[in-house]
Structure 1
Amino acid sequence: MSTSAIRVENLSKKFIIGHEEKERYTALRDVMARKAKSIFSFGSRSKTIYSKEEFWALKNISFDVQQGDRIGIIGRNGAGKSTLLKILSRITEPTEGRITINGRVASLLEVGTGFHPELTGRENIFLNGAILGMSRAEIRKKFDEIVAFAEVERFLDTPVKRYSSGMYVRLAFAVAAHLEPEILIVDEVLAVGDAQFQKKCLGKMEDVSKNQGRTVLFVSHNMGVIAQLCQKSIFLQKGKLIQVDETRKVIDNYILNVQSGENVYKVDPEKVQSQIYFTRIETLNAELTNCEDFQFNESIYLKVKMNVEAFDPNAKISFTIQNNNGDYLSTIVEDLSVFYKGITETEILLKLASHVLAPNTYAFRLAIFHHNVAVFDLVEMVCPLRIVDTGSKMAMFEGINYGNFFIDYKIVSAIDGVQFKAL
């Protein structure tokens, strides 16, 4: 009989969002000044209107996780994934409902959490072990493994505030995975690491679950990674639990759900905290009108709007084409400086050539990031589109899966008996 590692019952989390007319940000000194003025402003009324809005990041979530399970958590931005992990990590409290956790929890969420910036790497290893209830002797037994895995030997006695984000994440993951917690919780933070280290982390998470019986909860936008690592997955949408099932079934439902939605991605800037973020993404035809069905011989235009509130000269933007399984097919990466013109609202129009994408269904993944430092914004499986065959040589085979691309080719010779003739 399996043992429950985590039980979540009717869990809800509410945030109060404050609004102030004509002011997006309010400095602390302004709030204090208004309070002081109000003492002497008898009978006067402020011209500024304040209001509050309730926002439910999670609503009535219930599920069980068994000991040794590897659970993926998927959903679009704003689905409530990170909020759920913060509650399970005891970083924030739920508004309603209850959670029962059997075992010690180690979590790797945002870059910068879990370590004291003034302490060295060595000191932070012992600090985290102590937080998990381990003795110094127990930590020493794991110390060399942690350092070797993180590859930070030269910087062990350097305060971690001087580490790059990549070094920080390597050490944080090594500590979380090697100090023997019963439950390991990992958010998309691994996205700031290089590909080799990400592969190393995935292997370690699989090892601690399969061979050591520990429980892993993992959030990622990469459906291929979720499918590879996780036996079961949880699908969240706008704070609600949509499905808990075998990972393949959940991914199929997630992709179907995404593709059945509108083909315009848009967000409310009032609810975004990043300094650089997408506000609207859509696909257009040659007349630059919104379109989701394209003929094989038509070009596709991807229109991207973003807000750049604090420009990072090292930021890059990537455009990835995904198939209907969420796999990455091709990626374009450009410096953000190519498009940024010194104003907050920035717009990009990207043209994809005709006769390249084979008739099938596709979507896009876009990211704004500073390599190995930060991911400012990331959206996946947005703007679903369909390519319809209107004249390729495969058109006669209707209903056949063409694959994903038509490769440009030229026949340079033909066989005539035993001789080759140039065409």
Structure 2
Amino acid sequence: MNPSKPHREISIRVENLGKRYQIGQGAQPAYHTLRDQISTLVTQPLRWMGIRAKEDLAPRYDENEFRIWALRGVSFEVRQGEVIGIVGRNGAGKSTLLKILTRITIPTEGSVDLWGRVGSLLEVGTGFHKELTGRENVYLNGAILGMKKGEIARKFDEIVTFAEVERFIDTPVKYYSSGMAMRLAFAVAAHLEPEILLVDEVLAVGDAAFQKKCLDKMEEVGRAGRTILFVSHHMPAIVRLCERAIWLQDGQIYREGPAYQIVSEYLSESLGTTPIREWPDLMSAPGDEVVRLQAIRIRNAQGEITDTFDIREPVGIEMEYVVLKGGYALHAGFSLHNDEGQWLFASLDTDMEWDAKPRQPGRYRSLAWIPGNFLAEGTMMVGPSIRTEDPEILHLYEPETVAFQVTERPGLGPSSRMGFVGHFPGVVRPFLKWETHLLDPNPWNGRPGLRVENLP
């Protein structure tokens, strides 16, 4: 810890951080038994005399072969009041990073400086003593954070109400379900006013209502000017809550930048998606002797090829194809699936200029627009097709050929979320037109004895 705070109001500074673990035969035991201690006492004099014990004759292993770097060369700064998301695949080093920041794990190399009281929620019931009651654990955690008893008491009722454990607050925590322990642990971490809040996968446990409460509370903590590091696999929550994101890969910082941008790049690279596919050689292109597909591209409203769209933006699906044999009334089209394999919809060319008209040979381009505020967040897979309706002939269909990401960036105007933070269900999310009118400001007028306070 540096004794003086830096000029630029930094809350967290990480410099060249690394954590190395021993695995396999090279790993050191977590603890030593009495038998181990006796064995050491017996063999040490023999080694001093030049006599090797039986185990000394075993083949030697290079301990470097059994070392793994969970983190290596990680450096970043977080300013006071920033909300930072940490993304990456399992094993990327996300949880190790938070454990070092909370001093649960000692780094192998590098340094960490923190300015401010740190609250953390790394797993279910972190920091709880199983034999103590919920009430006792609240006061214990507050004391660990350096709070006075009066400060904890002022927050106590709010914590218990948020966690919804009023009936069990004087029950030992060892009898709590995982959901109860998570609710109380999050309530303690978020309500005891730490300057720095570290949260790892808070959405992994609990129902949808509790997840929404957690996200709402984290937004409130962020607005209060406190610093948050949020690890999650729930990408909409990262985009919603975080200004900036850090992408960890193989224990190193792979990319960092605006949260919506990092999330889009992470999803695209993780799923191997691409917004363009082209077949320069017609002989190997999808199709038959009538028509061949030469390209399919995903474009935005500016005409740029991209795989990242805000939920409010229109998405253009462009197909380029070559008609080899005339006389067929062709319809270009596509199917759209999400990353869960659900078929969202299919669309065929609705340009009436070509409806039921045989095509002459040549190169064609068809472009369809999916309107903004229609698709939900997620990954969308596009499968192009070309068919003849009469007679019915499917000339080509290439499922999941290209793909794009839909995310929802905060601050870009209204959407159907309207401030809702948790998981928003449904495969589409249209922004429908609503109207609300005040019909009667005093509906109980003229009805004796009916008052608001008397309603059930």
TM norm. shorter chain > 0.5: yes
Contact in 1 for aligned 2:264/2:405 (Cα 8 Å): no
Contact in 1 for aligned 2:381/2:403 (Cα 8 Å): no
1:86 CA displacement: 0.6
SS at match of 2:153: helix
1:249 pairs, out of 261, 268, 271, with 261
Contact in 2 for aligned 1:19/1:51 (Cα 8 Å): no
Residue in structure 1 matched with residue 69 of structure 2 by the alignment: 56
Q: Could you report, residue by residue, the CA deviation over 1:193-212 in whole angstroms, capped at 9, with x for unpaired residues?
A: 111101100000000111x2
Verify: 1:207 aligned to 2:211, yes or no.
Answer: no
Contact in 2 for aligned 1:169/1:190 (Cα 8 Å): no
1:42 CA displacement: 4.9
Residue in structure 1 matched with residue 230 of structure 2 by the alignment: 218
| Counterparts in 2 of 1:27 and 1:215: CA distance versus 1, 3 Å | closer
Q: Distance in 2 between matches of 1:324 and 1:34?
A: 63
Residue in structure 2 matched with residue 177 of structure 1 by the alignment: 190
Show structure 2 runs of 5+ residues with no match: 1-6, 274-285, 288-306, 312-333, 342-378, 407-425, 429-456
Residue in structure 2 matched with residue 125 of structure 1 by the alignment: 138
Residue in structure 1 matched with residue 242 of structure 2 by the alignment: 230
2:16 pairs, out of 10, 14, 24, with 10
Query: What pairs up with 1:258-297 in 2 under 5 angstroms?
Result: 258-260=270-272
1:32 pairs, out of 15, 31, 36, with 36
| Counterparts in 2 of 1:117 and 1:395: CA distance versus 1, 3 Å | farther
Residue in structure 1 matched with residue 199 of structure 2 by the alignment: 186
1:324 CA displacement: 8.1
Q: Distance in 2 between matches of 1:326 and 1:26?
A: 49
Show structure 1 runs of 5+ residues with no match: 262-293, 296-322, 328-356, 365-383, 408-423
Q: How many residues align?
A: 296
Q: Could you report, residue by residue, the CA deviation over 1:271-314 in whole angstroms, capped at 9, with x for unpaired residues?
A: xxxxxxxxxxxxxxxxxxxxxxx99xxxxxxxxxxxxxxxxxxx
SS at match of 1:111: coil
Contact in 2 for aligned 1:231/1:246 (Cα 8 Å): yes
1:235 CA displacement: 0.6
SS at match of 1:93: coil
| Counterparts in 2 of 1:406 and 1:199: CA distance versus 1, 3 Å | closer
SS at match of 1:204: helix
Q: Could you report, residue by residue, the CA deviation over 1:60-104 in whole angstroms, capped at 9, with x for unpaired residues?
A: 111111111111100001110001111111111211111111100
User: Which entry has the higher C-alpha Rg, 1 or 2?
Assistant: 2
TM-score, normalising length from structure 2? 0.56
Q: Distance in 2 between matches of 1:253 and 1:403?
A: 9
1:229 CA displacement: 1.1
Contact in 1 for aligned 2:80/2:226 (Cα 8 Å): yes
Counterpart residue type for residue 64 of structure 1 = E
SS at match of 2:128: coil
1:36 CA displacement: 6.9
| Counterparts in 2 of 1:37 and 1:173: CA distance versus 1, 3 Å | same
Which has the larger share of strand? 1
Contact in 2 for aligned 1:222/1:326 (Cα 8 Å): no
1:31 CA displacement: 7.4
Q: Distance in 1 between matches of 2:161 and 2:192?
A: 14
Residue in structure 2 matched with residue 389 of structure 1 by the alignment: 384
Q: Distance in 2 between matches of 1:395 and 1:138?
A: 72
| Counterparts in 2 of 1:37 and 1:388: CA distance versus 1, 3 Å | farther
Q: Distance in 1 between matches of 2:164 and 2:26?
A: 48
Contact in 2 for aligned 1:363/1:385 (Cα 8 Å): no
Q: Distance in 1 between matches of 2:89 and 2:225?
A: 30
| Counterparts in 2 of 1:255 and 1:401: CA distance versus 1, 3 Å | closer
Residue in structure 1 matched with residue 150 of structure 2 by the alignment: 137
TM-score, normalising length from structure 1? 0.60
Q: Distance in 1 between matches of 2:244 and 2:126?
A: 27
Residue in structure 2 matched with residue 19 of structure 1 by the alignment: 25
1:11 CA displacement: 1.2
| Counterparts in 2 of 1:26 and 1:59: CA distance versus 1, 3 Å | closer
Contact in 2 for aligned 1:223/1:326 (Cα 8 Å): no
Quote the RMSD (CA, aligned, Å): 4.2
1:190 CA displacement: 3.3
SS at match of 1:122: helix
SS at match of 2:120: strand
Contact in 2 for aligned 1:10/1:98 (Cα 8 Å): yes
Residue in structure 2 matched with residue 72 of structure 1 by the alignment: 85
Counterpart residue type for residue 218 of structure 1 = F
1:5 CA displacement: 1.0
